[in-house]
A and B are shown apart, each in its own frame.
Chain A
Amino acid sequence: LAKTTQPISMDSYEGQEVNITCSHNNIATNDYITWYQQFPSQGPRFIIQGYKTKVTNEVASLFIPADRKSSTLSLPRVSLSDTAVYYCLVGAHGSGNTGKLIFGQGTTLQVKP
């Protein structure tokens, strides 16, 4: 299972764009990159998933360079309600898969007014 490394914490101000980078040097060919968001005392919530290049949805964008050894979650114009812990996960699909997501420490994003 590929190990991920991301900053422990980040601060931002309302209205700014926030970029959180995750390193996954040992990512395997079949691995996808997925980001979850977790508010205090709640379960994690899926934000975005990608395999390569760029993925965008109504919440965020995910940038994945060609070597796939890192990825960047981009949150446009954050608000106070985006204060949460953000987790980067990598995982493979295929036969023998057990749905075993490995959560790291995540990045605690604090958005200030």
Chain B
Amino acid sequence: ETGVTQTPRHLVMGMTNKKSLKCEQHLGHNAMYWYKQSAKKPLELMFVYNFKEQTENNSVPSRFSPECPNSSHLFLHLHTLQPEDSALYLCASSQDPGREETQYFGPGTRLLVL
């Protein structure tokens, strides 16, 4: 148990659906992240939030829309996804967004787009 929870753990959606992934951290951290991990590929950073402000958007398509209402919660809103978006979506948090800072990852949401 890392102190970072994600819901749902598994999600199947059609290309026309709208769904949201939720992440919550109970560590009092100030920075939160979304990563994507496709099969047989390295983790890819998607978004970084620091004190609720987005500080990094790693050229992510607009069909992925992040939201960070406070430092403890992070959402990823999904709309008109493609089958190639099927992946494990991981949320992480750290005390501050420094690269020497340990990032604590949630268990991920396994997403399948049909």
Contact = CB atoms under 8 A, between A and B. Distances in A.
B74 interface: no
Interface of B: 2, 4, 31, 33, 42-45, 48, 50, 55-56, 58, 88, 90-92, 94, 96-108, 110
Given A43-B90, A43-B92, A43-B105, A99 B43 contact: no
Interface in A85-100: 91-93, 97-100
- Interface of A, secondary structure class, is loop
B70 to A, nearest CB: 18
Interface of A: 32, 34, 41-46, 49, 91-93, 97-106
Contact of A103 (B4, B42, B91): B42
Nearest to A104: B42
Contact of A43 (B56, B94, B108): B108
Contacts of B104: 46
Contacts of B108: 41-43
A34 B99 CA distance: 9
A102 B33 CA distance: 13
Given A41-B108, A42-B108, A100-B45, A49 B99 contact: no
A92 B94 CA distance: 15
Contact of A99 (B90, B98, B107): B98
A63 to B, nearest CB: 18
Contacts of A42: 105, 107-108
Contacts of B100: 32, 34, 49, 91-93
Contact of B105 (A45, A97, A98, A106): A45
A6 B31 CA distance: 28
A34 B108 CA distance: 21
A98 B97 contact: yes
B98 A106 contact: no
A49 to B, nearest CB: 7
A44 B43 contact: yes
B48 A98 contact: yes
A44 B2 CA distance: 10
